[in-house]
Amino acid sequence: MKVRIRGIYATALTKLFLDNGFEIVQATPQISERFSLPIKDEPSDVTVKDGNDKGELISIGEDIYSFLRKTFQTSFVWKSPVKLYSVIETNNCKFMDYQVEPCLDKGLVVKPPTEGRVILSSPKAVGKYSMVWRGDGKTFFSEHIRDRGEKARLLSISIPFNKKGYNVKWRSNAPFANNIVLKEELEKLAMRFDNDDFKQQGEDFIKVTVSLEDKIMLDEIRKKVLPNTIKFHHMLKMSFSNEVDEIEQTSMNNEELLDKLITEYMKIEHIKPDGRKFELKEGKVIYKEVNSDYYIVRLMRVFSREGIYDGLNVKKEEGDYDIVEFDSRKWYQIHRYYNKDGKLKGIYVNISTPPELLRGKLRYLDLEVDVVKVGDEVRIIDLEELEKNKEIIGETMYKKIFTIIEEVKKIL
């Protein structure tokens, strides 16, 4: 299988894919040099690239779910049940219990339900190199096709189809195929569109929300290629770019950059297996410890609104506060809730992947199940949510969660 790789994980991923028998195509000059790879300007079967804010990996094309699940054992790995570029028929603005937008009776999937909804456009016949549909007879280009000469070549192939009333969009693979192949595909796609034949159409879409543990795993793989790679390289790259390169070139350690990420007040980002992100109330940093191997950040969060503490079923009152510690070596955070006079009201332990440091923010992957203590009673909550998301969480992490629960129960 031919793989095109882009983004901040490119060096580590290239080694991973090469070591597992994949072929790398369309490599950047930097990657070609690092791996002594011959330049292969060939179409790819699958593209792997950064997703949102570089904390995710996206795979589009052939199905590599098994490989990604095996590789990223402590990350969320989600394979869309709806293929990208498939044409679907909807019912009352829904498909497979997902909301579709806009509400078309039939449409092309241009965004799978990464956020719980499917985004559609009008139907199009989609191939490896192009898309074809009836319209004003225009040609469009992928944003990745920038060379004027290449655009002129592709335009010369699509103009005859434009004259027949077809719109054509050239995909990023198009520059790597010859004229005969491209023309043949346009002919097939035009016929498929006119015959309303979209049955075999669609590409697998896989999203990996990369945990801190797996980022560190990628650091170690990158280090085999570039020995100056620092610990937390990929995490730090999400907030810094040139600075990481500079300290690696001078063989400095990572402590200064880690410390820069810790601000007076820190936000907390809580990522659920289904991809939803929740921002919890920020806290004031009351303690920090940073060295090249780990970091600890302790926050105090003061509440001004009344309510009920989820899971504890204890009343939240004005002036209550929470003391919580984030340790990059631990798979949980212990929230201790106090009233304004300093009396403990309850303890809530969030089971999660070890926390990442981003600029002014702590982030972790929530593993659904939690442990709470009110008075002398210790309870495990939300086990049903864990079971519901077992596939995305993965077998390795699923088993680890129960070990963590026992560790937390002993602490409590």
Residue type, 79: K
Q: Could you tell me if residue 183 is inside a domain?
A: no
Identify whether the C-beta of residue 8 lies closer than 8 Å to the C-beta of residue 237. Answer: yes
- Specify the pLDDT at position 275: 87
pLDDT by residue (tens digit) across 105-158?
999 999 999 888 999 999 999 999 999 999 999 999 999 999 999 999 999 999
For residue 366, the domain's CATH number is: 2.40.380.10
- Inform me whether the pLDDT recorded for 253 exceeds 90: no
Task: Name residue, tokens 């002398």.
Answer: 376
- Specify the pLDDT at position 116: 86
Specify the number of domains making up the chain: 1
Q: Could you tell me if residue 369 is inside a domain?
A: yes
For the chain, the helix, strand and coil percentages under 3-state DSSP, each to the nearest 5 = 30, 35, 35
Confidence of residue 87 (pLDDT cuts 50, 70, 90): very high
Q: Could you tell me if residue 226 is inside a domain?
A: no
Cis peptide before 102 (omega within 30 of 0): yes
* Domain range for 380: 262-411
Return the closest-CA partner of residue 209 out of 394, 365, 363, 65. Answer: 365
For residues 11-36, give the mean pLDDT.
Answer: 96
- Specify the pLDDT at position 221: 98
- Specify the pLDDT at position 252: 82
Q: Could you tell me if residue 320 is inside a domain?
A: yes
For residues 53-69, give the mean pLDDT.
Answer: 96
- Specify the pLDDT at position 290: 96
pLDDT by residue (tens digit) across 315-372?
999 999 999 999 999 999 999 999 999 999 999 999 999 999 999 999 999 999 999 9
Assigned token pair, 54:
């570089």
Rounded to an integer, what distance in angstroms lies between the CA atom of residue 393 and that of residue 403?
Answer: 15
Assigned token pair, 267:
């936000």
Q: Could you tell me if residue 304 is inside a domain?
A: yes
- Inform me whether the pLDDT recorded for 207 exceeds 90: yes
For residues 284-309, give the mean pLDDT.
Answer: 96
For residues 236-258, give the mean pLDDT.
Answer: 91
Q: Could you tell me if residue 275 is inside a domain?
A: yes
- Specify the pLDDT at position 331: 98
